[in-house]
Homo-oligomer: A and B are copies of this chain.
């Protein structure tokens, strides 16, 4: 059966595209990493594998093993950026607004986080991955992200004193959970629990509801 396995070679069928494939490890590493990110963002973690990444990067999968030690190392390399996600995506200053109270701050942070997540497909996929897979690599991703988020909240809080008698950690966990799930639902189905989330107007309504919730707990 495998005897008649005439291997058809296809030698660079595009002569017009010189594909100046220079021998450069750093470049290749970067190509692999960005291909992995792009793939994860566009296709999700379902079809995320060695072969797919190698195909996307236009190189042999062997190089992924050599340079990253396999998929796990590659995921870890992706996760390294996670720590600085909030910092890169969300302005650290308060936009010139006067955030006098904890409620002011949390309202603003919640809206910033919602917008940032909405604009970042890769991060959405990772969040979805976190609640769908309890493998070691994903758990590490999750922890890094969680820590970064909590640290961001802490940093932004500054010297503001949270309201007395409220378990802010628990309440904030609910608030940011709500944002994450809502954005994820919208990304796959343009709606969430009967709430349409397609047009800018829809999102405007969502933002108003979010503000109302935050103001409800934090005044």
Interface residue ranges, A against B (CB under 8 Å): 44-46, 128-134, 139, 142-143, 146-147, 149-150, 166-167, 169-182, 184-185, 187-189, 191-195, 205-206, 208-210, 212-213, 215-217
Contact = CB atoms under 8 A, between A and B. Distances in A.
Contact of A193 (B166, B176, B188): B176
Contacts of A185: 130-131, 177
B188 A173 contact: no
B213 A44 contact: no
B173 A194 contact: yes
B195 A170 contact: yes
B131 A181 contact: yes
Contacts of A150: 193-194
Given A139-B189, A146-B193, A149-B193, A209 B132 contact: no
A204 to B, nearest CB: 10
Given A177-B178, A213-B216, A172 B184 contact: no
A181 B213 CA distance: 17
Nearest to A169: B195
B208 A170 contact: yes
Nearest to A125: B132
Given A130-B188, A167-B205, A193 B172 contact: yes
Nearest to A133: B46
A205 B182 CA distance: 23
Contacts of A167: 205, 208-209
A170 B203 CA distance: 10
Nearest to A132: B128
Contacts of A146: 191-194
Contacts of A173: 182, 192-195, 206, 209
A193 B133 CA distance: 17
Contacts of A172: 193
Given A175-B213, A216-B216, 18 more contacts: A46-B132, A46-B133, A131-B181, A131-B188, A139-B188, A150-B193, A166-B212, A167-B205, A167-B209, A170-B205, A170-B206, A170-B208, A173-B195, A177-B179, A177-B185, A178-B181, A213-B217, A216-B217
